[in-house]
Amino acid sequence: MTNIFGLTLAELQEVLAPLKVQKFRAKQIAEWLYQRGATDFSAMTNLSKALREQLAENFTIGRPKIKARLDSQDEKTTKFLLEFADGTAIETVLMRQPYGNSICVSTQAGCNMGCAFCASTLHGLARDLTCGEILAQAVTINDMLREESGSKVDTMVIMGSGEPLMNYDEVVKFLRLIHEPYTLGLGYRNITLSTSGIVPNMYKLAEEGMPISLSVSLHAPNQELRSEIMPINRKYPLKDVVAAAKNYADKTKRRVTYEYILIDQLNDGEQQAKELTALMHGQLASVNLIPINPVVERNLLRPSKARIDWFEGYLASHHVNVTVRREMGTDIQAACGQLRNKHLQD
């Protein structure tokens, strides 16, 4: 049995060809899969009964089960633990923002990048997710929004567990697929991909002709400290990451965002503020400060509000475009990977 969830329209037409299914039927099936919430073929009521039976005999619709759902007290954030057929579980988050519904999807189950502040990497990498598994996260939430409130997914960040540029082909296929009018039709400008700095694939992404926003996890303004916080920095040094980000901004004309997790007494001092200011000089970029969500397994603490304000103020007064990330869902373990880790432990 072939799983058809995650196939493009052209791929669907190809796998359906031996069944002598007309091309327009493939489009109807795609709409049922990606827009109309069908989880089995019997729901596809504009197809003949005979065709529905034939499809059920030959294909499956690989949708994940919702293993857990956590809603924040303010009801703005919902976190899902989704489980695929092989038992692999991943996290997906919905954030009801003032500008629309935003989702955060995972691209790998676990991660082997080893960032010091991150819960997703504690158990290493289980496996890459397929294009269909990444799309299933978005479609699951889109179906839920449609049923609950007649709304939809408006924007997406690829910032869940995993390093998307280490799963490059599936992620790029997914980005093209979610943009298609027969899926969610999400505009590239409403999509942000976050990377820890996989330099060769940052250059590759700049050539894909998809003007998505790029967000680079910086977290330290010099080589030594960044290597301490992010081991991948030994392989792809800070200066090369910044050069690749500048190239991305030049090629796509999209402003790059540098994510900077503020960790008490580690990267939030005057020296780092000065170095970060120098690094940003002359770039089409902004800095997003993220006060750390303490991860109990690691001894990394959040700076005081006064220190956060000081750091932001320093950058702003030195003409760096800076924001502090608004916190959402800290009461439901918003730091990526924490829900999945609990599931693994249980």
The answer for 6, left when phi > 0, alpha when psi is -120 to 50, beta otherwise, is: left
Tell me if 59 sits within 8 A of 322, measured CB to CB: no
By CB under 6 A, residue 128 contacts ligand SF4: no
- To the question of whether residue 162 is assigned a binding role by annotation, the answer is yes
Residue 292 binding ligand SF4, by CB under 6 A: no
CB closer to ligand SF4, 218 vs 279: 218
Cβ-count burial of 210 within 10 angstroms (0-12 exposed, 13-18 middle, 19+ buried)? middle
Burial class (CB in 10 A: 0-12, 13-18, 19+), 180: middle
Among 51, 95, 115, 285, binds ligand SF4 (CB under 6 A): 115
Q: Output the CA–CA distances (angstroms, integers) from residue 251 to 77, 103, 246, 255, 276, in the order listed.
A: 34, 26, 9, 11, 23
- Single out the residue of 163, 170, 259, 268 in contact with ligand SF4 (rule: CB under 6 A): 163
CA 330, CA 337: separation in Å to the nearest integer?
13
User: Smallest distance, Å, CB 113 to ligand SF4?
Assistant: 4
Closer to ligand SF4 by CB, 196 or 252: give it: 196
- Residue 327 per-residue DSSP state: P
What is the smallest separation between the CB atom of 79 and ligand SF4, expressed in angstroms?
15
Residue 172 DSSP label: H
By beta-carbon proximity to ligand SF4, the closer residue of 25 and 340 is 340
Cβ 323 to ligand SF4 shortest distance, Å: 19
Minimum CB–partner distance for residue 115 and ligand SF4 (Å): 3
Instruction: Choose the stretch contacting ligand SF4; rule: CB under 6 A; options: 71-79, 161-169, 205-213, 314-322.
Output: 161-169
Taking CB under 6 A as the rule, does residue 120 contact ligand SF4? yes
Under 8 Å between Cβ of 219 and 230: yes
89 touching ligand SF4, by CB under 6 A: no
**Smallest separation (angstroms) from ligand SF4 to the CB of 98:** 26
92 to each of 17, 97, 118, 291, 334, how far by Cα in Å?
A: 34, 16, 16, 21, 10
Q: Which residues are catalytic?
A: 91, 336
Flag whether 118 is marked binding. Answer: yes
Cβ atoms 276, 303 nearer than 8 A: no
- Which residues are annotated as part of the binding site? 111, 115, 118, 162-163, 194, 217-219, 293
By CB under 6 A, name the binding residues for ligand SF4.
111, 113-115, 118, 120-121, 161-163, 196, 336
